[in-house]
Structure 1
Amino acid sequence: MAILIPALSTCLKKMTSGERRFARRLETHLEDDYLCWFDIPVGKKRRYPDFIILHPDRGLLFLEVKDWKLSSISDLTSTQVTLHTDKGLERKANPLEQVRQCTYTVLNKLKSDLQLINHEGKYKGSLVLPYGYGVVLTNITRKQLNDAIPLDAQDTVLPPHLVICKDEMTDSVDIEVFQSQLWGMFNYTFPNQLTFPQIDRIRWHLYPEIRIQSPDQASLFEEEDFEFKHEDFSGNMPDIIKIMDIQQEQLARSLGEGHRVIHGVAGSGKTLILGYRCLHLAALLHKPILVLCFNITLASKLRSFIRDKEIEHKVQVYHFHDWCGQQLRTYHIKLVDGDNAVWERQVDSVIAGVDKGDIPRAQYGAVLIDEGHDFEADWLKLITQMVDPDTNSLLLLYDDAQSIYKHKNGLNFSLSSVGIQAQGRTTILKLNYRNTQEILQFSYQFAQTYFEQADHDDIPVIKPEAAGISGDNPIVRQFPDAESEVCFLVRCIKKWQLDGRLLQNIAILYPSSYMGKKALDALKKAGIDCIWLAKSDYKKKYDPKKNQLAILPIHSSKGLEFDTVVIIDSSHQYQNDDDVSSIVRLLYVGFTRAMKHLLVTYHEENELSESFEKIAKKKAIG
Structure 2
Amino acid sequence: MATIIPTIGSCGNKITAGEKRLARIFESNLSSDCTCWYDIPTGEKQTHPDFIILDPQRGLLFIEVKDWYISKIKSANKTHVIYETSDGDISLTHPIEQVRQYSYGAINYLKRDPQLLQDNEKYKGQFCAPYGHGVYLSNITRKQLDKYFSNSDIFPSDIVICKDEITEFMSSEEISLRLFSLVKHTFSKEISNKQVDRIRWHLYPEIRITHALDKPESSAKPISVLRTPNIIKIMDTQQELLARSLGEGHRIIHGVAGSGKTLILLYRCLHLAKDNNLKKPILVVCYNIMLAQKLKSLIKSHQLMVPVEITNFHAWCYKQAKIKNILPNSKQNFIENLEQAVITGFQNKTIAAEQYSAVLIDEGHDFKQDWLKILSGMVDSETNYLLFLYDDAQSIYQKKSSLDFTLSSVGIKAQGRTTILDINYRNTQQILHFATSIAFDYLNDHIEDNFKYHKPDAGGLQGQVPNMLVFDNHQQEIIHIIKWLKQQHHTGVSWNDMAILCPSTAHLSAILVKELRDSKIPHYFIASSEDKKRYSPQSEFLSIIPLPSSKGLEFHSVAVIDSSNIMGNSDDLSDEIKRLYVGFTRATNNLLVTLHQKNVLSRHLTSTYNQIYNNA
Q: TM-score with structure 2 length normalisation? A: 0.95
Q: Secondary structure at the match of 1:291?
A: strand
User: Contact 1:292–1:318 at 8 Å: present in 2 too?
Assistant: yes
Offset at residue 496 of structure 1 (A): 3.1
Within-5 A mapping of 1:266-345: 266-284=257-275, 285-311=278-304, 314-335=307-328, 341-345=333-337
Offset at residue 411 of structure 1 (A): 1.2
Offset at residue 149 of structure 1 (A): 0.5
Offset at residue 331 of structure 1 (A): 2.5
Please give the per-residue CA displacement for 1:255-287, whole angstroms capped at 9, x wherever unaligned.
Answer: 111111111111111111111111110112332
Offset at residue 217 of structure 1 (A): 2.8
Within-5 A mapping of 1:227-246: 231-232=222-223, 234=225, 236-246=227-237
Give 2:192's aligned amino acid.
T
In terms of mean alpha carbon deviation, does 241-250 or 26-35 score higher? 26-35
Please give the per-residue CA displacement for 1:542-598, whole angstroms capped at 9, x wherever unaligned.
Answer: 111111010010010000000111111100012523331111011000000011111
Offset at residue 235 of structure 1 (A): 6.8
Within-5 A mapping of 1:179-578: 179-217=176-214, 231-232=222-223, 234=225, 236-284=227-275, 285-311=278-304, 314-335=307-328, 341-452=333-444, 461-516=453-508, 518=510, 519-578=512-571
Offset at residue 164 of structure 1 (A): 1.5
Offset at residue 408 of structure 1 (A): 2.3
Offset at residue 241 of structure 1 (A): 0.9
Q: 1:160 to 1:498 in 2, by over 3 A?
A: closer
User: Contact 2:213–2:493 at 8 Å: present in 1 too?
Assistant: no
CA distance in 2, matches of 1:605, 1:40: 57
CA distance in 1, matches of 2:217, 2:399: 43
Please give the per-residue CA displacement for 1:524-558, whole angstroms capped at 9, x wherever unaligned.
Answer: 34432111122111111111111101001001000
Please give the per-residue CA displacement for 1:396-449, whole angstroms capped at 9, x wherever unaligned.
Answer: 111111010132223121111111112111111111111111110000011112
CA distance in 2, matches of 1:180, 1:27: 15
CA distance in 2, matches of 1:100, 1:553: 55
In the other structure, the counterpart of 2:17 is 17
CA distance in 1, matches of 2:447, 2:143: 61
Q: Secondary structure at the match of 2:37?
A: strand
In terms of mean alpha carbon deviation, does 44-53 or 92-101 score higher? 44-53
In terms of mean alpha carbon deviation, does 506-515 or 257-266 score higher? 506-515
Unmatched segments (≥5 aa) in structure 1: none
User: Contact 1:18–1:66 at 8 Å: present in 2 too?
Assistant: yes
In the other structure, the counterpart of 1:148 is 148
In terms of mean alpha carbon deviation, does 173-182 or 128-137 score higher? 173-182
Q: 1:334 to 1:581 in 2, by over 3 A?
A: closer
Give 2:453's aligned amino acid.
V
In terms of mean alpha carbon deviation, does 347-356 or 584-593 score higher? 347-356
Q: Secondary structure at the match of 1:596?
A: strand
User: Contact 2:440–2:453 at 8 Å: present in 1 too?
Assistant: no
CA distance in 2, matches of 1:388, 1:607: 50
Q: 1:537 to 1:312 in 2, by over 3 A?
A: farther
CA distance in 1, matches of 2:26, 2:447: 39
Give 1:257's aligned amino acid.
E
In the other structure, the counterpart of 2:135 is 135
Offset at residue 196 of structure 1 (A): 1.2
Offset at residue 115 of structure 1 (A): 1.6
Q: Secondary structure at the match of 1:135?
A: strand
Q: Secondary structure at the match of 2:144?
A: helix
User: Contact 1:591–1:598 at 8 Å: present in 2 too?
Assistant: yes
Q: 1:460 to 1:233 in 2, by over 3 A?
A: farther
In terms of mean alpha carbon deviation, does 294-303 or 36-45 score higher? 36-45
In the other structure, the counterpart of 1:600 is 593
Q: 1:575 to 1:253 in 2, by over 3 A?
A: closer
CA distance in 2, matches of 1:363, 1:99: 42
User: Contact 1:475–1:616 at 8 Å: present in 2 too?
Assistant: no
Number of residues paired by the alignment? 611
In the other structure, the counterpart of 2:56 is 56
CA distance in 1, matches of 2:243, 2:295: 17
Identity %: 47
In the other structure, the counterpart of 1:118 is 118
Offset at residue 313 of structure 1 (A): 5.8
Q: TM-score with structure 1 length normalisation? A: 0.94
CA distance in 1, matches of 2:169, 2:211: 48
Within-5 A mapping of 1:70-81: 70-81=70-81
Unmatched segments (≥5 aa) in structure 2: none
User: Contact 2:425–2:458 at 8 Å: present in 1 too?
Assistant: yes
Offset at residue 363 of structure 1 (A): 0.5
Offset at residue 470 of structure 1 (A): 1.1
